[in-house]
Structure 1
Amino acid sequence: MGFTLLDGIVIVLYLIAVAFFGIWSAGKQKTSTDYFLGGRNMPWWAILFSVVATETSTLTFISIPAVAYGGDLTFLQLTFGYILGRIIVAVWFLPAYVKGEMTTAYQFLEQRFGSGLRKAAGSTFIITRLLADGVRLFATAIPLAIIFRFAGLFDSWGDGSLYLLAITVIAAVTLVYTFIGGIRAVIWMDVVQMVVYLGGALFALLLMVGKIPLTGSEITAFLSAENKMRLFNWGTDLGIREILANPYVFWVSLFGGAIFSIASHGTDQLIVQRLLATGDVKSSRKALIWSGFAASAQFAFFLFIGLMLYVFYQGAGLEELNLRTTDEIFARFIVDQMPPGVAGLIIASLFAAAMSSLSSSLNALASSTTYDLLKPVFGTDWDGEKELWISRLTTIFWGLMLSGSAFLFTWLQLSGDDQPAVVELGLGIASYTYGGLLGIFVLGRLFAKPDKTDAMVGFFSGLISLLFMVEGALQQYIPGEGLTVAWPLYTFAGAVIVVAVANGSYYFRKAFRN
């Protein structure tokens, strides 16, 4: 059906409404606590929706259908580990954060190991978010770039230019209400937009199924014949090295997913900031645990959409569909098949959900920068008004930096033919640095003897060691075959190295002193 002027008008009006609602829902921000923690009185169910929308909205909508279209359902195994990991965080991590009335996750490290490690951990979080959320922002630009291309807009522009334009539009609108409204605006926008984008995706799915000229049994038979229905991969035909390198073997997915979730929801300021906004442990636990089940159900829903897209397009390849990457498949269906006006509404809801995720990143980056890096050095004489002003300036700074990161990943993803799905790229980046962060938190909670020097040695040893395990350009310079592990295991490997090296450093230094 194509993309019409009515769809364009719907998108513009929707984005304007989103910006105004975000600002209105925030109320008046008087202090940095209001700006970053919503006054510590946000309802737990709003936090639940915010956590799910923040971690999955953009990449789920765009890339999870692509995962199923290009593969099968084994990605869902990871979500079982996610649920297990969140339960562990709820029991083990949250009491220390909430009862201590902390503003960032890394204040715990300062209490245990000193300000140096807090700054190192905060800096690692910032670098991780800059890269991983650059991928997220790139993903949000995919449907808008497709609209420009298939609607005949900017015909003389190349793929890269279209993506850069889309990224700029999304980042600019997001920055407006994040700068003004802070975390309260972000959370309430997450609640609204999760409902909207799931409703839009459901409408698209129902329309798609109605256009498929097959019965339910015929669809199942077709998908089974194409080996698309597999949910569990037990890896019984693989050797140990192959299992460790395969992210979708069940035990790797379950264990790696649990460890990843412990790190992402127990040490990442992006999520911890929301959990601190409830103000009490019981509410934080309910929000966190139930978010695991909601996220798993959402992954299953979008994987199912990917299967239906495979049936609808009869497994057509990228060249046949005139697509640049597999991640464009669902957006292509929306642009081509949705009725006028409805396509615009669904794309607009996707943009708004994407912007809520981006605004979450901006607010978390600004809070960690302000509390973990700037305030300990320069903020001894800051009053509430100045602290709020500094917080907003850092929000603008990170808006510009995240846009630059997204530009970088646009170039990387469009420069080759064999690129991973965006969701796998984003999770792989996050998994890399989560290992160091999780290891240092485990060290602080379970091992009393290592001091700040041991912790620092272990922390950076974990980060550096992973360079030799992550499959990439660096491995060509390493003698021998090397050890390649699947990205869900990056976190576990990094954490083990941190704990082992830090304890080894303690005993070595103790022996040397004696």
Structure 2
Amino acid sequence: MGFTLLDGVIIVLYLVAVAVFGIWSAGTQKSSTDYFLGGREMPWWAILFSVVATETSTLTFISIPAVAYGGNLLFLQLTLGYILGRIIVAIWFLPAYVKGEMTTAYQFLEKRFGSGMRKAASSTFIVTRLLADGVRLFATAIPLAIIFRFAGVFDAWGDGAIYLLAISVIAFITLIYTFLGGIKAVIWMDVVQMVVYIGGALFALILMLGKIDTSFMESLSILSSEGKLTLFNFGGGLSIQEFLADPYVFWVAVFGGAVFSIASHGTDQLIVQRLLATGDLRSSQKALIWSGFVAAAQFAFFLLIGLMLYIFYSGAGLGELGLRTTDEIFAKFIVDHMPVGVAGLIIASLFAAAMSSLSSSLNALASSTTYDIIKPLYGQEWDQEQELWISRLTTIAWGIILTGSAFLFTWLQLSGDEQPAIVELGLGIASYTYGGLLGIFMLGRLFNKPDKTDAMIGFFTGLISLLFMVEGALQQFLPGEPLTIAWPLYTLVGGVIVIAVANASFYLRKWVRN
């Protein structure tokens, strides 16, 4: 039905409302503890929704339905690992963080290995977020460009201009309420924006079901007969190499998903900062564990949309539908079949998913930079007003840097045929660095003998080794053959290398001294 003036008005009103509500919900910020940790008094259920919204990007909204349309439900196996990993973090990691009244995840490393290790881990986190979130912010414009292309909006502009417009608007609005409201604004807006994007997707699903001629049970029967409801793959008949290389073999998915979740939710300041905002161990644990179940339900919901799209379009191929990739399937339905005004709501939902991720990154980057880098560098105590002022300036700086990073990835993506590999490199950074971060945290918790020198050697060896061992975009620039394993196992490999090398370093140095 196209994109109308009413849709545009809805988007503008939503963006204005986001900025106003975000600032209002945060109240007055009097210190950096208020700014970065919400005074350690945020309710656990709000943290729960904030964690889920932070993990959700616009590509989740668009791409997960495409996974089911082009495949089946095997992706849900990973969510079992995600839940298991969060339970382990809640039981084993969070008590150390909350008991120590820490402001960042990396203070734990300082207590165990010294300030150098804290700065190294924090810097790794910062570089990871800079690259990965620059790509994520750029990727926000992809589904918007798809929708506008289908709807014939901004035809004279071209994709590049649409990307830059979307990135600029999202970054500007998000920076306003993050700068003024800190983590309180981020968390409360995450709650609102999760309601918005889930509500928009739910409306689309209900409308779709109303347009499908077959009953829901008949649809399930069709899907079952075509293998679309396959949920488990235990890897029967596969060789060891094939088994380890398939990310959707049950044991690989669950075990690898659990390890990845331990790293992402136990060592990444993006998530840990939220969990520390409750100020209470039991509340942090409830928020983290239940976020795993809610995230799994969210994935199942978007996969269901993909299955219903398969029924709606009778499993038509890309050529029949005039699509470039399966990622465009949900966008096509939105533009072709949403009533007037509702397309605007759906695009507002995409903005909501993007802003919840970006605001979280801005606040986490600012807190890690302030506490782990700037404050130790100057080696002095600031009063509350000075610390808050520096925290806000750091937030602005990161807003500008991340926007510039997204512009760079836009240029790389659109400037030539070889550039998409660079984007894949940015998206894959987390897979390389989480292994090192998890390994160094596990070393600190499990092994008492290695000191700060051993930790540094193990940490950087783990980071560098993965570049050579894991198949990915970097491999084309490096010598040797990659170790072909499924991506959920990347983090495990990196962590094991860190622990093994650090312990080997301890015993080798001990032998040399003797």
TM-score range relative to shorter protein: over 0.9
Counterpart for residue 6 of structure 1: 6
Distance 1:262 1:164, change over 3 A: same
Say whether the 8 Å CA contact 1:57–1:194 is kept in structure 2. Answer: no
Letter in 2 for 1:138: F
Structure 1 residue 408, shift from structure 2 partner = 4.2
1:136-285 equivalences under 5 Å are 136-285=136-285
Q: Deviations over 1:461-512 (max 9, x none)?
A: 1111111222234435666643111111111000000000000000000000
Partner Cα distance (2:437, 2:154) in 1: 44
Q: Deviations over 1:337-393 (max 9, x none)?
A: 111112212221331232122101110011111111111002514222122121112
Letter in 1 for 2:242: E
TM-score normalised by structure 1 residue count: 0.94
Partner Cα distance (1:136, 1:199) in 2: 22
1:95-106 equivalences under 5 Å are 95-106=95-106
Structure 1 residue 322, shift from structure 2 partner = 4.2
Letter in 2 for 1:458: G
Distance 1:25 1:497, change over 3 A: same
Letter in 1 for 2:17: A
- Structure 1, unpaired ranges of 5+: none
Partner Cα distance (2:148, 2:249) in 1: 39
Q: Deviations over 1:169-217 (max 9, x none)?
A: 2111111111111000000011112122212211110111111222334
SS in structure 2 opposite 1:101? coil
Say whether the 8 Å CA contact 2:133–2:361 is kept in structure 1. Answer: yes
Say whether the 8 Å CA contact 1:58–1:357 is kept in structure 2. Answer: no
Q: Does 1:501 align with 2:514?
A: no
1:380-399 equivalences under 5 Å are 380-399=380-399
Partner Cα distance (2:124, 2:441) in 1: 13
Letter in 1 for 2:452: K
Aligned residues: 512
1:65-464 equivalences under 5 Å are 65-378=65-378, 380-410=380-410, 428-464=428-464
Letter in 1 for 2:135: V
Structure 1 residue 330, shift from structure 2 partner = 1.8
TM-score normalised by structure 2 residue count: 0.94
Say whether the 8 Å CA contact 2:468–2:479 is kept in structure 1. Answer: no
Residues 2-11 or 58-67, more deviating = 58-67
Residues 195-204 or 308-317, more deviating = 308-317
Residues 363-372 or 376-385, more deviating = 376-385
Q: Deviations over 1:286-340 (max 9, x none)?
A: 1111111111111111111111122222334445444454333323322221111
Say whether the 8 Å CA contact 2:412–2:419 is kept in structure 1. Answer: no
Residues 297-306 or 475-484, more deviating = 475-484
Distance 1:78 1:504, change over 3 A: same
Distance 1:229 1:205, change over 3 A: same
Q: Deviations over 1:145-177 (max 9, x none)?
A: 234323333223332332222112211111111
Q: Does 1:55 align with 2:36?
A: no
Partner Cα distance (2:324, 2:402) in 1: 23
Q: Deviations over 1:406-462 (max 9, x none)?
A: 334445666669979x9x988743222110000000000110000000000000111
Partner Cα distance (1:29, 1:359) in 2: 17
Distance 1:480 1:395, change over 3 A: closer
Partner Cα distance (1:137, 1:316) in 2: 31
Q: Deviations over 1:230-271 (max 9, x none)?
A: 111211132111222211111111001100111111100000
Residues 488-497 or 230-239, more deviating = 230-239
After TM superposition, where is structure 1 displaced by more than 6 Å over at least 4 residues in a row? 417-420, 424-427
SS in structure 1 opposite 2:448? coil
**CA-atom RMSD in angstroms:** 2.2
Say whether the 8 Å CA contact 2:68–2:306 is kept in structure 1. Answer: yes
Letter in 2 for 1:77: Q
Q: Does 1:35 align with 2:35?
A: yes
* Identity, % of aligned positions: 81
Residues 346-355 or 100-109, more deviating = 346-355
SS in structure 2 opposite 1:74? coil
Partner Cα distance (2:3, 2:72) in 1: 30
Residues 427-436 or 168-177, more deviating = 427-436
Partner Cα distance (1:301, 1:163) in 2: 28
Residues 447-456 or 153-162, more deviating = 153-162
- Structure 2, unpaired ranges of 5+: none
Say whether the 8 Å CA contact 1:432–1:490 is kept in structure 2. Answer: yes
Partner Cα distance (2:425, 2:348) in 1: 25
Structure 1 residue 123, shift from structure 2 partner = 0.7
SS in structure 1 opposite 2:47? helix
Distance 1:226 1:397, change over 3 A: farther
SS in structure 1 opposite 2:144? helix
Say whether the 8 Å CA contact 1:99–1:280 is kept in structure 2. Answer: no
Partner Cα distance (1:122, 1:82) in 2: 24
Letter in 1 for 2:115: S
Letter in 1 for 2:198: L
Say whether the 8 Å CA contact 1:164–1:407 is kept in structure 2. Answer: yes
Partner Cα distance (1:152, 1:476) in 2: 38
Partner Cα distance (1:328, 1:408) in 2: 24
Say whether the 8 Å CA contact 1:256–1:492 is kept in structure 2. Answer: yes
Q: Does 1:15 align with 2:41?
A: no
Say whether the 8 Å CA contact 1:47–1:287 is kept in structure 2. Answer: yes
Say whether the 8 Å CA contact 1:370–1:391 is kept in structure 2. Answer: yes
Say whether the 8 Å CA contact 2:73–2:228 is kept in structure 1. Answer: yes
